[in-house]
Amino acid sequence: MSPPVFRFAPSPNGLLHLGHARSALLNFDLAHARGGRFLLRIEDIDASRCRPEYEQAIYEDLGWLGLVWEQPVRRQSEHLALYRDAIARLTQQGLLYPAFESRADIARLVSEKERAGSWPRDPDGAPLYPGHAGQLSGAERERWRRSGAPYALRLDMAAAQARVGDLTWEELGMGPDGETGLVPARPEQWGDVILARKDTPTSYHLSVVIDDALQGVSHVVRGQDLFHATAVHRLLQALLGLPQPLYRHHPLVLDEAGHKLSKSTRATALRDLRAAGMTPSEVRRQVSLAVA
């Protein structure tokens, strides 16, 4: 049997904090405890927010923590052609449609819906897509495309679910409400998610499932904030014929007020803790979860 493969997959859009340290250390420790491999992947598809100095800081901070990862590191920005191919396959299956509304259009549509009653929100609290771009005629779509307007490629969630049926995943950790074991995937909670944009041929959801499959990742170990996103990941795996890894979602490190840490709060940035004299073993003690 091949050894298990673990990965830590940060985005270089800010400095790593204690929450990242928990994820990275847990992946690293699990890989070591099981004679497995530990990969580092740089999720840098959002060119407007990712910066080379943050990528450099990731290497330095993880190195300081004592982690060692395989080379070469996979950087998603170097593999856009691969994601474009997957988008082409989903388009051929008739599962994607271009939606041309701006953010302001969407906000207006949502407030209209909310004024008329309630409007559902996704597990992250964002309103579901309220538009009707999925029902535009071919001619109307063509007219929009020719206008050069920016657009998002959205997944027709109902059609996608109809194609693959009910899905589950094996949860070795726990969701925010204690979900564990065989968890039913409910991607419809996210509505018609965006999988690509006119200028970016991919999205977090698409790249993550393609890369996990391509890198042979057997165990996805990450924070509970991504627990519900797993439903979309399972759907994409099923649509694209990719293998499904095992999942382990771990509790987040919270600040004193009980809030999730953010890359913009310097108080828990590994860089600043190090500058303030904290040692790697103190970080480890502060964020440790038992490796089982």
Q: Examine residue 211 and tell whether it contacts ligand GLU (CB under 6 A).
A: no
Question: Under a CB-based contact definition with an 8 Å cutoff, are residues 243 and 234 in contact?
Answer: no
Q: Examine residue 192 and tell whether it contacts ligand GLU (CB under 6 A).
A: no
CA distances from residue 125 to 122, 128, 198, 245 in whole angstroms, order as listed: 5, 9, 25, 26
- Shortest reach from residue 10's CB to ligand GLU, in Å: 5
Site string for ligand GLU, 34-63 (x = CB under 6 A): ---------x--------------------
Residue of the chain from 40, 152, 153, 208 that contacts ligand GLU (CB under 6 A): 208
Q: How many helices (H) and strands (E) does the chain have?
A: 10, 10
Interface with ligand GLU by CB under 6 A: which range of 3-11, 140-148, 180-188, 190-198? Answer: 3-11
Of 86 and 133, nearer to ligand GLU (C-beta) is 86
Cβ neighbours of 49 (radius 10 Å): 13
- Shortest reach from residue 225's CB to ligand GLU, in Å: 8
- Shortest reach from residue 11's CB to ligand GLU, in Å: 4
Label the pairing between strands 5-8 and 37-42: parallel
Q: Examine residue 222 and tell whether it contacts ligand GLU (CB under 6 A).
A: yes
Cβ neighbours of 107 (radius 10 Å): 13
In 47-178 the beta strands, taken as DSSP E runs, fall at 74-75, 96-99, 152-155, 168-171
Size of the site for ligand GLU (CB under 6 A): 7
Q: Examine residue 263 and tell whether it contacts ligand GLU (CB under 6 A).
A: no
Of 26 and 110, nearer to ligand GLU (C-beta) is 26
Of 151 and 247, nearer to ligand GLU (C-beta) is 247
For residue 119, the number of C-alpha atoms closer than 13 Å in the C-beta half-sphere is 19
Judge residue 25's burial from the number of C-beta atoms within 10 Å of its C-beta, 0-12 exposed, 13-18 middle, 19 or more buried.
buried
Cβ neighbours of 126 (radius 10 Å): 12
- Shortest reach from residue 62's CB to ligand GLU, in Å: 13
Give contact residues for ligand GLU (rule: CB under 6 A). 9-11, 43, 208, 222, 226
